[in-house]
Amino acid sequence: MSDRQSSNAYWQANLKLIWLCMIIWALVSYGFGIILRPILAGISVGGTDLGFWFAQQGSILVFIALIFFYAWRMNRLDAEHGVDE
């Protein structure tokens, strides 16, 4: 594979990972916390409904988990494409 093709493959894999993280973040933040909140209102977590929990804490925890997942996956992706440290 040429250097240009390798760079393009690396960038495409990076973009796919970014889109995956953005979709998960949007689903949790907007989907569970706002749009699906009435549906999740019947499920209790820690004394409050699940929709409220996602809006207040769940989306933050998922966002932090996504940061660690992205860093872990990018380290693997860097190693696969030979651009690791």
Residue pointed to by tokens 């989907």: 31
Three-state helix/strand/coil letters over 38-85: HHHCCCEECCEEHHHHHHHHHHHHHHHHHHHHHHHHHHHHHHHCCCCC
Q: 78 near 84, Cβ under 8 Å?
A: yes
| Domain regions of the chain by residue span | 11-80
Percent of the chain with pLDDT over 90: 45
Residue 45, phi then psi, degrees to nearest 5: -135, 115
* Local confidence band at 85 (pLDDT 50, 70, 90 cut-offs): confident
- The pTM of the full predicted model, rounded to 2 decimals, is 0.81
Residue pointed to by tokens 């860093």: 71
**Between residues 15 and 84, the one the model is more confident about:** 15
pLDDT at 11 over 70: yes
Residue 2, phi then psi, degrees to nearest 5: -75, 165
